[in-house]
Amino acid sequence: MKTYDSKRSFFSNPFAKSQERVNSAATLTDQDLEGEINKRLKGDVFPLDVFPSEITELLSVIHHKLEGERAFIGQSVLSMVSAAIGSAIVARSGTWQTPLTQWSVSVGISSSGKSMVQGILRKPLDRIQAIFDDEYEQALRKRDDPKRDDPEEEDDEDDDEPLDAKGYRNKKKKYQPYEAPPRKTIFINDITFESMINDVMKHNFKGICKFEDEMVKWFDDMKRYKSGGSEISFWTSAWATPTNFTMARSGGKYLVINKKHMVASIVGGTQPKLLYRFFDEDKAYSGFSFRFLFAMADEVKVTDPDLEFKISDDLMNPYTGMLEWLYKESPMRSAESDPIPLSLNRSAIKTMQEWQTRNAKIINQLDDPEEKEIKAGIYGKNKEYCLRFAAMLAAMDAACKRQKITHETPVNADHVQRAIKLADYFFKTGWQAYEMAKSRKIVPAEVLEFAGLFKHCDCNQTRMAEILKISRQAVSKKLNKYLDLYPSAFNARNTI
C-alpha cells in the first residue's frame, strides 16, 4: 500500500486518510509562496542555450548586467519571435500542422524585472509598429484634409458652360474619394473584443499579439463585457485553428476570419499570489489554462540592475535583424497569402517520436487520477508547443543568417532536441503553477464553515453528521471534495 509523503503535493494521493491530508494541507502566505517557488524551481533553469549563437551575447548581458531573469529573457524571445512570424509559418509533421501561436506568462513578484526584460526584447517590433502608426496617422490627415491634392477625373464637357478665350469649354473637376488604408498592427492592448475582430483581425492577415502587463486584468475584462463567452471561444480557437472563425453581426451578416490568418498570441505577466486565477472556474479542466507557458524566476527577488549600463547597438543588431527578417520576409499582405509550412525531416520526427513515447509512458503509469489528468492536460498542449518550438528555432537560425525561409527550410533533429529542452522546462513550470495555484485558491464561505466545524469536532465525522443532521457518508463525501479543492481551509492558520 502506498504511504503518504507529506512533502509531496496535497493531491499526489487523494486516497490518503483524511487526518493525514488535513495535517499536510497548508495555506501559502506571500512569504511562504516565495520560498515554495524557490524550492520547486531549484535546478529548473530556463535553457537559454537553445537560441542561435548570434543572439546569446545579448541575452547574457541582459541577465548579468541588468539582472534580468533567465526565464523572463527566454520567454520574451520566444514571444517576440512568435509575434514576428504570426500566421506566416506553420509547423508540420506528417499530417499534423499547427500555427506558431504562443500564450506566454512571466511569473514574478513586483520589481522582479518582468516588464524591463519584455520592454528591451520587444523594441525591434515596437519600432516597426511605430512606423505603421506614423503611416496610418499620415493617411488619416490626408483623408481629412479638404485641400488635399488628389488625382482628379475630368468630367465630359458641359454644353451649358461658356467658351473660354481659346474657344474651349471648361471641364468639371471631380475629386476621387480617399479612404485611409487599415492600420497595420503587431500588438494590441486596451481594445474591446468587437473592435479587435472588426477593425484589427479583419485586415491584419499576419495575425496579432495581445500584450497585457497583468494577465488577470484580461480575465476580469472578459467577465465584465457581454462578449466574454465569444472572446474565450475566439482565443481558444486562435491557439490552434481547426476552422474559420465566424461572428454574427447586426442585420443577419457574418464576419469570417480565415483559419490560415487567425493567429493570436498572448504575452504578459502576473504575480505568484495571483496564479490561482489561471486555474479557477474550470479553466484547468477545459484546457484553457494549459495553453499558457509559465516562465518562473530562478529565485524570488527584486532586481538591482546596473543603472549606468547601456545596451549598445552592436549587441542589439543581431537580435533586431533576426526579428525584422522574420517579420518582413513573410508579410502575408492579402487574404490570398498562404503560410509557409516548415516540416520535420525524418531524423527530427524520430527524435520527437521517442520523446513523445517516453512522456506518454510516464504519465500513463501515474497512480493518482487527478495528477494524471492534470499532467495529461499540460502535456497535450506541451507536445504541440514542442513542434512549434522546433519550427521557430529553425526559422530563427535561418533569419540570423539572412536565409530566405521557404518550405524547404530544414527542421532537423537538432532543432527538435533544442525544442524538447524548452518543452520539458514548460511542462515542469506548468505543473508547478498548478500546484501553487491550488494551494492559494480562495475558499468559499460554506467550505470555511465546514472546515471550522470539522476542527471543532476534533475531526470526528460521526459527530459532524449528528450536528449537520446528515449521514456520515455525506460528511465523508463533502470532506474529500473540499480537501481536494480547498486544502488551505483545513489548516488551523487560515490567512485568506
Question: E strand or H helix at 341, and its extent?
Answer: strand 340-343
Asked if residue 18 has pLDDT above 70, the reply is: no
Asked if residue 118 has pLDDT above 80, the reply is: yes
CB atoms near residue 69 (< 10 Å) = 26
Q: What is the pLDDT of residues 212-240, one digit of tens each?
A: 888 988 888 777 665 555 677 788 888 88
Measure CA 207 to chain center: 14
Asked if residue 494 has pLDDT above 60, the reply is: no
The per-residue pLDDT for 445 is: 72
- Across 170-181, average pLDDT: 59
Look up cell 506548468; give the residue: 430
Asked if residue 120 has pLDDT above 60, the reply is: yes
| Least confident segment among 215-219, 226-230, 271-275, 432-436 | 226-230
Angle between helices 70-85 and 123-144 (to 10 degrees): 40
Confidence band (pLDDT; 50, 70, 90) for 385? very high
End-to-end CA distance of the chain: 35
Question: What one-character DSSP code corresponds to residue 49?
Answer: G
Confidence band (pLDDT; 50, 70, 90) for 266? very high
The per-residue pLDDT for 53 is: 96
The residues spanned by each domain of the chain are: 11-42+443-496, 44-133+183-369+378-440
- Across 125-129, average pLDDT: 96
- Across 437-464, average pLDDT: 81
The per-residue pLDDT for 99 is: 94
Name all contacts of 405-408 with Cβ < 8 Å and 24+ positions apart. 405/89, 405/326, 405/329, 405/330, 405/340, 405/342, 406/340, 407/340, 407/341, 407/342, 407/343
Indicate the fold that domain 44-133+183-369+378-440 takes in CATH. Rossmann fold (3.40.50)
- Across 341-348, average pLDDT: 97
Asked if residue 170 has pLDDT above 70, the reply is: no
Confidence band (pLDDT; 50, 70, 90) for 329? confident
- Across 148-176, average pLDDT: 55
Asked if residue 414 has pLDDT above 90, the reply is: yes
The per-residue pLDDT for 142 is: 80
Q: For the chain, what percentages of helix, strand and coil (3-state, to nearest 5) are there?
A: 50, 10, 35
Asked if residue 81 has pLDDT above 80, the reply is: yes
Pairwise pLDDT comparison (58 vs 279), residue with the higher score: 58
- Across 56-82, average pLDDT: 96
The span from the CA of 98 to the CA of 391, in Å, is 10
Confidence band (pLDDT; 50, 70, 90) for 300? confident
| Least confident segment among 89-93, 198-202, 227-231, 239-243 | 227-231
The span from the CA of 415 to the CA of 348, in Å, is 8
| Least confident segment among 6-15, 22-31, 378-387 | 6-15
The per-residue pLDDT for 159 is: 55
Asked if residue 139 has pLDDT above 60, the reply is: yes
The span from the CA of 457 to the CA of 449, in Å, is 12
| pTM (whole model) above 0.85 | no
Confidence band (pLDDT; 50, 70, 90) for 442? low
Confidence band (pLDDT; 50, 70, 90) for 8? very low
Look up cell 474529500; give the residue: 480
Kindly report the average pLDDT of the chain as a whole number.
82
Q: What percent of the chain has pLDDT over 90?
A: 49
Pairwise pLDDT comparison (319 vs 281), residue with the higher score: 319
| Least confident segment among 56-65, 101-110, 378-387, 438-447 | 438-447
The per-residue pLDDT for 226 is: 55
The span from the CA of 338 to the CA of 335, in Å, is 8
- Across 308-329, average pLDDT: 95
Asked if residue 467 has pLDDT above 80, the reply is: yes
C-alpha cell at 187: 500588438
Asked if residue 152 has pLDDT above 60, the reply is: no
